[in-house]
Chain A
């Protein structure tokens, strides 16, 4: 059923639930660490890593890697492009849901 959304020229990056979830979480905060996203969205480490990389490649998310007390920390932050894409995506979802009623 979700494939039907592709017919509406949706942003394919945000058609994935996991990526949509990541961007949604990042809309509500300045940034989020890898374990935070993992816990909030219930994703596995590998899954989250793949989706974050995809979002980073598209320029929707900026990923920063640093060390805190000698432990590696990955932090993701939404870019202006990502925010714009999310808002456009939600607007389109709302339009289609409304038209289908």
Chain B
């Protein structure tokens, strides 16, 4: 339809200059669309408290696990490992239930929010699967389970960075570097992975939480 009009003898800039005013109106509407998108697309709550909480647990627990491993205290290792897992799971559930009852952000961009959610579940699922099947099948040594989680966290942060914010992408790369470094220094895996994974989740998580707080205002 439009092509027929454009091929008319008058053309888009025909008599009366209707083409240029149409062009200005079209540019105005495109500008309005861009403005609405800019205002609304950034309204995302990625539930970053999960990143902060799990990052803190990893930052504390991994070096402690490594320490007790070096001290040959398997019971302490088991207590810290299981305790951290249970504590993290319970807190995640409690926070999520609270948020489901009272969402923090109105008019949220649910497309990106859901993408972040799917990425997190995919990577956590892969982490659980490989850390369970790997040692049981003998493909992954028991001591290397932390590396599985290192790569799962790195991939998760990187993918979240692709759809959400660049700081997650940078964090994902940093966690990947830390995980590779830990691979080559088996006795000190926990000491290396703890800070890389922990801070790699805490820093972008805190930044996202602050952004959500600003959007609420």
Contacts and interface: CB of A to CB of B under 8 A. Distances in A.
Interface range on chain A (Cβ under 8 Å from partner): 20 to 34
A37 B114 CA distance: 19
Interface in B150-166: none
Tell me the interface secondary structure of chain B in the complex. helix
A42 to B, nearest CB: 9
Contacts of B186: none
Contacts of A29: 40, 107-111
A88 B98 CA distance: 41
Interface of B: 1-2, 5-6, 12-13, 18-30, 32-33, 36-37, 39-41, 43, 106-112, 114
Interface in A1-45: 1-2, 4-5, 7-9, 17, 20-21, 24-25, 28-33, 35-37, 39-41
Given A5-B26, A97-B23, A25 B36 contact: yes
A92 interface: yes
- Considering the complex of A and B, which 6 residue pairs feature the smallest CB-CB distances, nearest first? A100-B23, A36-B107, A96-B26, A4-B22, A97-B26, A29-B110
A2 B25 contact: yes
Tell me the interface secondary structure of chain A in the complex. helix
A64 to B, nearest CB: 15
Contacts, number: 103
B183 to A, nearest CB: 40
B107 A100 contact: no
Contact of B21 (A4, A24, A94): A4
A20 B1 contact: no
A85 B110 CA distance: 21
Given A1-B21, A97-B26, 7 more contacts: A2-B28, A7-B22, A8-B22, A21-B32, A28-B109, A35-B106, A40-B107
Interface string A64-101: 00000000000000000000000000101111110111
Contacts of B109: 28-29
Interface in A50-71: none
Given A24-B36, A40-B39, A90-B33, A31 B110 contact: yes
A5 B25 contact: yes
A1 B17 CA distance: 11
A7 B4 CA distance: 12
Contacts of A100: 12-13, 19-20, 22-24, 26-27
Contacts of A31: 110
